[in-house]
């Protein structure tokens, strides 16, 4: 008996459904049967039953719950989850392709972005996209460079804003920004205009918790320009970073597009040599991207071009 024949016999014995896979993916994303049920538009007992039936079909345990109700995936559950995400993603793409053939772009679009992306530009992109494609639901995931790369690999997101080019993936250059140093107005470096990164080794830094600035420098900057920052504070959002710099609690590194020349109580310094930030729209494969992803890339390119023409980017 051929291995192909044995495979088909085994597959006939296992009656997994797309709903079971969708429940598994939703549970992994939300960490709660209740929230997974809401997303799936099912009852909590229906989600629980679907996953129990799936485990019985496979004769393995995929998920475990402790006495506090905290859900964890078993090692084999984590491996199967990756396949489930791919299958669910391809199933959604099939539906989108069928709708696109009928002249309609629909579905869900999961986009990852690093905090360095200018909030105004991201908002414009989403606004233009939703105006053109109102039947596509856009879900945003904010993360670090490494997280977004990992989410792309695991099919958690469909596309992401990352440094361009992105190794092993298809990247479309959107814009080029640059890292700048933000210092308090009373800082001893305020008159410099530009400064080498190596001169900042003794400074106290205020950085975001993901420390994206130094991740970028370590990935793309010259070896001689790399330093280990003395981080005095790690905070969650840029508004807090600005306020702390204004109070003289330290300095920070941020993209120029995130900074306002009129930011009271601070001075912006360029890096010498400049540390450019080429930002791209990244997908695993353009050929395998859904119609919604292709449409989003087109809108991103259009908005970026309009911004450049107006001198905004």
Calpha distance 312→287 (Å, rounded): 31
| Region of residue 95 (left: phi > 0; alpha: psi -120 to 50; beta: else) | alpha
Instruction: Specify the pLDDT at position 165.
Output: 67
Question: What structural domains does the chain harbor?
Answer: 3-85 (1.10.10.10), 107-174+279-309 (3.40.190.10), 176-276 (3.40.190.290)
pLDDT string in tens for the chain (313-residue length): 555 544 444 545 667 899 999 999 999 988 889 999 999 999 999 999 999 999 998 999 999 987 777 889 999 999 999 999 989 988 988 888 898 888 888 888 999 988 777 777 888 999 999 999 999 999 999 888 888 888 888 888 999 988 876 666 788 888 888 889 999 998 998 888 899 888 888 899 998 876 666 666 655 555 555 667 788 988 877 888 899 999 999 999 888 888 866 578 899 999 988 888 888 888 887 777 888 998 998 999 888 888 666 666 5
Contacts 24+ apart (CB under 8 A), 104-108: 104/135, 105/133, 105/135, 105/136, 105/291, 105/292, 105/295, 106/135, 106/136, 106/292, 107/135, 107/136, 107/137, 107/290, 107/291, 107/292, 108/136, 108/137, 108/139, 108/292
Instruction: Specify the pLDDT at position 268.
Output: 92
Contact 80, 21 (CB under 8 A): no
**Token pair 């199967």 in the structure block, residue:** 80
pTM recorded for the entire structure: 0.70
């Amino acid at each position: 008996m051929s291995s192909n024949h044995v495979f088909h016999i085994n597959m006939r014995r296992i009656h997994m459904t797309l709903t079971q896979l969708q429940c598994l993916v939703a549970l992994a994303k939300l960490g709660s049967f209740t929230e997974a049920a809401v997303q799936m538009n099912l009852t909590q007992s229906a989600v629980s039953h679907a996953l129990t039936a799936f485990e019985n079909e496979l004769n393995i345990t995929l998920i475990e719950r402790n006495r506090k109700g905290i859900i964890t995936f078993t090692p084999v559950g984590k491996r199967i989850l990756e396949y489930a995400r791919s299958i669910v993603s391809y199933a959604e793409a099939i539906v989108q392709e069928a709708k696109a053939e009928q002249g309609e772009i629909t579905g869900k679009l999961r986009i990852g972005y690093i905090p360095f992306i200018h909030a105004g530009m991201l908002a414009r992109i989403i606004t233009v996209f939703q105006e053109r494609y109102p039947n596509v639901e856009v879900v945003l995931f904010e993360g670090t460079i490494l997280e977004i790369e990992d989410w792309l690999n695991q099919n958690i997101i469909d596309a992401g804003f990352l440094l361009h080019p992105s190794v092993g993936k298809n990247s479309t250059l959107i814009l080029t920004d640059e890292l700048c140093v933000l210092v308090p107005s009373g800082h001893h470096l305020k008159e410099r205009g530009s400064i080498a990164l190596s001169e900042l080794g003794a400074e106290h830094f205020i950085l975001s918790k993901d420390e994206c600035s130094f991740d970028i420098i370590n990935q793309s900057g010259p070896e001689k320009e790399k330093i280990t920052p003395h981080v005095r504070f790690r905070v969650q959002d840029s508004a807090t970073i600005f306020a702390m710099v204004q109070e003289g609690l330290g300095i920070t590194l941020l993209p120029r597009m995130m900074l306002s020349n009129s930011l009271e109580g601070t001075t912006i310094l360029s890096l010498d040599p400049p540390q450019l930030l080429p930002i791209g729209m990244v997908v695993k494969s353009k050929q395998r991207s859904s119609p919604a992803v292709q449409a989003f890339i087109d809108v991103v390119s259009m908005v970026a071009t309009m911004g450049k023409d107006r001198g905004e980017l």
